[in-house]
Structure 1
């Protein structure tokens, strides 16, 4: 087996494992402790929500600058930083006795988990890929596995342990198991071109943040790859209002989430294969179409069709989004500045997901008909990707999958 193929498989496995561990800093995991934390620290819903929002926004904004750690440091060192922050967050959650420590703990969890560790997973899978789409799909399955497995484990542990001891166990898992394992997995990976320079010793020209935000290709891509997190966040947060409008029961919504997860899993696998076979630009043009189907079903379908169409359609696009966006940044901007580019994307994504509940809530409060909102979203996701693809460069989706940096 060639060194390149070994690195490809190791990078994909690293991506899956890092994505799985990043779940400890994801919303679904932290939310499992919400009631216990609020009761123990005497917080109401608004204070808990405000602390969480502040920690999330602060960590997301830091990703604008910290994303390029994946370019400047060997991955062994970069993942050490990420998991150390995540482990510190878990420890602070276990000892938090008031809002200040809680805020710092939440900040470290969001920055170390949802931010840096998940970021390192995708960057590594994309940078060292032989088949980039499939490598990114493998890494994305780590996020899905975390969502499927960890809530069950946490709920079981909360049945016989205090919530603080569950966070102690999480810290031990991150620092005692994941950290040495991922350091060992990352050690043999070749260094990024940006770190080793050219063979003649001259460093390659680096893409800077101020240059990136002026590039039409980057701005055009953002108008598409931010749609899925924007819409999914808005729908999930306002699911209660949507349930009232359509007469959905809690049991029906629970089944809807199962449909979301199933569609997300299938689309992750399929999008990885399609990116490798057809090129990322072709997939980029059409992968938001399930959002159009979802919103049209919500706006014009009967209640049962609205429920299933919404959750399955959003799940299909959510699964593809990690694969398409990860491959897109590598294809359009190359792998040597991939950490910086994806870090910028992550920062904009946090801002978008912070704004989306507000925008959707205002639309609901102004009594805008759901059908009108749905038609507007559907028109956007059908037309804009085709226009945006024109800015991505003629060769972005047609050159063969990159093989990553040289083995030297």
Structure 2
């Protein structure tokens, strides 16, 4: 089944996934950063203080997410989505009515938890649970909401802010989320759509589902968790950190700031392309096949911008990390189901989503410490490359022993033939 046939057959659930990931943008760094200058001006805050608010809120969100996110295994999908939407709306409106500095970290916590955390968690968990044979395509299509939001929403939000003000723009954001998600969840998603490809009905007409409990501490002790966790930590860590300091990077290289806009477009295109490429490949060969390799373009990209002198290397760098990010988002999401199964996927994914949220706070903080210490971007790039190399090497542990033995056997045979 190709993408066109798949979308025709499952259009309701595919759009649900894309809708949730795209609207999660209202809790993502790239959109919330647009409000920072207005908050600094209105509440007389320093850059350091507002960064601290944001970091603390993100870490708190990562701590809460496993407890809340696992409820998707026992609470019907529609009910869980509506409750999360209510939390999102309260956070957006609370943010818009901020009257003092202490409103800001509370609003950030709600937006990071509901937006970046739970909306993305709902989308990918739903695709992982309801699809089996076409899971790769389902996850890939739902993941498209992220680059779609990155490509479309910043320009629109900036225009809205300049026309009607930052507070009023938050009211529009809340209205969009409330109307689109609530109406779609209540009136478009029907019980007939909540049937998995294995024909197992997972209906919201049921009472809250009784699922045998699995302890998250036991998941965290498993070999599969320890194998996946470094990969899931790395990309948000590096991407958020590198994008947070993209203007200083351009200054360090001596390039025009104009390369950033084109570079981000190249990143979005490469990410979208690799997401769509990953889906059918995962369905055909399984995610485990690609797990040790998808971060290699990222490593090459870091080396390109580190040692490159011409401004065009910015575009090569953005394309390469976009390829890794897109392919990786589909691969690690599908691999969580391959490793842990569908039954507890909400509990499993909430743990990994928590790691992702936490890493997005750690990246800018660590890079900031290195730069404040006067170590410069040469050290930033070297540290990133070293960490990435370690993550790639440990990923090869996912390859079964019989595959390694087969490779060794083939290598030895070739060696013998070449000697003969």
TM range, normalised to the smaller chain? 0.7 to 0.9
Structure-1 residue corresponding to 2:29: 27
1:301 corresponds to 2:308: yes
Structure-1 residue corresponding to 2:147: 144
CA shift digits 1:149-185 (9 cap, x unpaired): 2122212222321221111111122223322212334
Q: Which blocks of at least 5 consecutive residues in structure 1 are unaligned? A: 197-201, 395-408
1:243–1:152: structure 2 CA closer, same or farther, 3 Å change rule?
closer
Q: Shift of the alpha carbon at 1:39?
A: 1.8
Q: Shift of the alpha carbon at 1:305?
A: 5.3
* TM-score, length basis structure 1: 0.86
Structure-2 residue corresponding to 1:398: none
CA shift digits 1:173-214 (9 cap, x unpaired): 222332221233444243798989xxxxx9664432011011
Question: d(CA) in 1 for partners of 2:330 and 2:387?
Answer: 22
Structure-1 residue corresponding to 2:275: 268
1:22–1:358: structure 2 CA closer, same or farther, 3 Å change rule?
closer
Structure-1 residue corresponding to 2:164: 161
* TM-score, length basis structure 2: 0.84
1:42–1:15: structure 2 CA closer, same or farther, 3 Å change rule?
same
1:99–1:195: structure 2 CA closer, same or farther, 3 Å change rule?
farther
Partner secondary structure for residue 311 of structure 2: helix
Q: Shift of the alpha carbon at 1:71?
A: 0.7
1:227–1:86: structure 2 CA closer, same or farther, 3 Å change rule?
same
1:102–1:234: structure 2 CA closer, same or farther, 3 Å change rule?
closer
| Residues 288, 398 of structure 2: 8 Å contact kept | no
1:175–1:384: structure 2 CA closer, same or farther, 3 Å change rule?
same
Partner secondary structure for residue 99 of structure 2: coil
CA shift digits 1:274-300 (9 cap, x unpaired): 111221001212111111211221233
1:49–1:386: structure 2 CA closer, same or farther, 3 Å change rule?
same
1:385 corresponds to 2:392: no
Q: Aligned match of 2:386 in 371, 376, 379?
A: 376
Q: Shift of the alpha carbon at 1:144?
A: 1.6
CA shift digits 1:252-285 (9 cap, x unpaired): 2222212111111111111112111221001212
CA shift digits 1:111-168 (9 cap, x unpaired): 1111111110111111111401110111111122111221222122223212211111
1:209–1:177: structure 2 CA closer, same or farther, 3 Å change rule?
same
Q: Shift of the alpha carbon at 1:374?
A: 6.1
Q: Aligned match of 1:219 in 216, 226, 235?
A: 226
- Report matched runs for 1:8-407 at 5 Å: 8-129=10-131, 130-188=133-191, 189-190=193-194, 205-304=212-311, 306-364=313-371, 365-366=374-375, 369=379, 372-373=382-383, 376-377=386-387, 379-390=389-400
1:371–1:272: structure 2 CA closer, same or farther, 3 Å change rule?
same
1:372–1:86: structure 2 CA closer, same or farther, 3 Å change rule?
closer
| Residues 84, 112 of structure 1: 8 Å contact kept | no
Partner secondary structure for residue 33 of structure 1: helix
Partner secondary structure for residue 144 of structure 2: helix
| Residues 73, 211 of structure 2: 8 Å contact kept | no
Q: Shift of the alpha carbon at 1:390?
A: 4.6
Question: d(CA) in 2 for partners of 1:390 and 1:262?
Answer: 33
1:221–1:390: structure 2 CA closer, same or farther, 3 Å change rule?
farther
Partner secondary structure for residue 83 of structure 1: helix
Q: Shift of the alpha carbon at 1:89?
A: 0.9
1:194–1:231: structure 2 CA closer, same or farther, 3 Å change rule?
farther
| Residues 7, 14 of structure 2: 8 Å contact kept | no
Q: Which blocks of at least 5 consecutive residues in structure 2 are unaligned? A: 1-5, 204-208, 405-420
Question: d(CA) in 1 for partners of 2:77 and 2:116?
Answer: 17
Cα RMSD after superposing both structures: 2.8
CA shift digits 1:50-106 (9 cap, x unpaired): 222222211121112111121111000110111111111111111111122222222
CA shift digits 1:315-344 (9 cap, x unpaired): 111112221121111111111211111110
1:390–1:356: structure 2 CA closer, same or farther, 3 Å change rule?
farther
Aligned pairs, how many? 385
Question: d(CA) in 2 for partners of 1:41 and 1:147?
Answer: 27
